[in-house]
Amino acid sequence: MSERINPVEPFLRMDRMPHIWCPGCGIGTVVNCFVRALLKTRADLNKVSVVSGIGCTGRIAGYFRVDSFHTTHGRSLPFATGLKMANPELNVWDFSGDGDLIAIGGNHFIHAARRNADLKVVCVNNFTYGMTGGQVTPTAPLHSLATTAPYGAFEKPFNLPFLADSSGAVYVARWTTYHVRQLTRSMEEIMTKPGFCFIEVIAPCPTAYQRRNRLGDGLEAMRYYKANSKVVHGADTRSVDIDLGGPIVVGKFVDRDRPTTLEAMRDELQKALGGKYVPYPTGVNR
């Protein structure tokens, strides 16, 4: 009998296993879903690049067997923007955690969305800085506990789909790590969609967030997501805030089209410079 290989393995740097993630962590699920999306869409792996910042989710770049970049804290999006601008034929994915992408990288996030940089951005939102041991993040629900919010978080958290939507993202979805098929489907959809596409994935951090907030282990998180998630496609993103212990609205909220950075640049330059403009590829076929 021939040995059966996990279909995910050829996509990963197996020589780097075991990975650093804790049992019950949601990041592995996101990795799995991405591989399934790559398989399903038959993406050209030579042209796929994965960019990450710093933190647990930031380590995703190091495990994918594609050209991959583990950059600095919060700055994966401008790196990815530069990569895509230089080489528009690349399919550039950014995997980042909530602290990385939204706290230290928040300014880059809104600007990448505003300019419609042609990037596929997946934010693993576990409401905590896992790698440094469980500090409060800008997405942490009100009253949740963290090492640096020992008496409870008292700042209103960001609602990421609303932030992405209002900043100009052309695709905005939210799923939990319970929704593996839907998440994979969303990743398949944005694989070829031009522009700034954003997927928020609500994920458990059993070590640093669940335990401190008495939310149980990874399995308990799945039960919670299953019982409390409500699929509302096209939901008004203003209405999808997350409260501690409350329901989680998931689904595809935004799917629209507008010119990417390189397309808008090309159109403007062509208009202004005419024959003097030396055409630069946009990486988009339209």
Partner 1 sequence: MKADPRGVLTGVHFLDGDHACCEGALAAGCRCAFGYPITPSTEVVERIAQRLPTVGGVFLQMEDEIASSIAIQGAAWGGKKVLSVSSGPGISLMMEHVGLAAMTETPCVFVNVQRAGPSTGLPTLVAQADMMQARWGSHGDYEVIALCPNSPQECFDLTVQAFNLAEIYRVPVMFMMDEAVGHMTERVVIPAADQIEVVERRRPAEPPSDTYALYRCEPGSRVPPMPPVGEGYRFHVTGLTHDERGYPVMNAEAQDRLVRRLVDKIRLAGPALERYEEYQVDDADVVLVAYGITSRVVQRSMQLARERGLKVGVFRPVVVWPFPERRLRELARQVKAFVVAELNLGQVVLEVERLACGTRTVLAPHAGGGLHAPEAILAQVEEVLR
Q: Which residues bind partner 1 (CB under 8 A)?
A: 13, 15-16, 45-47, 49, 51, 61-62, 65-72, 75, 78-87, 89-90, 107-108, 111, 115, 261-262, 265, 269, 273, 276-280
Cα 106 off chain centre by:
13
- Helix, strand, coil percentages for the chain (3-state, nearest 5): 40, 20, 40
**Nearest distance, CB of residue 158 and partner 1, angstroms:** 18
**Nearest distance, CB of residue 248 and partner 1, angstroms:** 31
* DSSP code of residue 26: S
Q: Which is nearer to partner 1, 51 or 197 (CB)?
A: 51
Q: Which is nearer to partner 1, 81 or 237 (CB)?
A: 81
Q: Which is nearer to partner 1, 244 or 269 (CB)?
A: 269
Q: Which is nearer to partner 1, 104 or 180 (CB)?
A: 104
**Nearest distance, CB of residue 46 and partner 1, angstroms:** 5
Whether the CB-CB separation of 28 and 37 falls below 8 Å is answered with: no
Helices 180-191, 27-41: crossing angle, 10 deg rounding: 50
> CA 58, CA 67: separation in Å to the nearest integer?
15
Helices 160-167, 106-114: crossing angle, 10 deg rounding: 40
**Nearest distance, CB of residue 277 and partner 1, angstroms:** 6
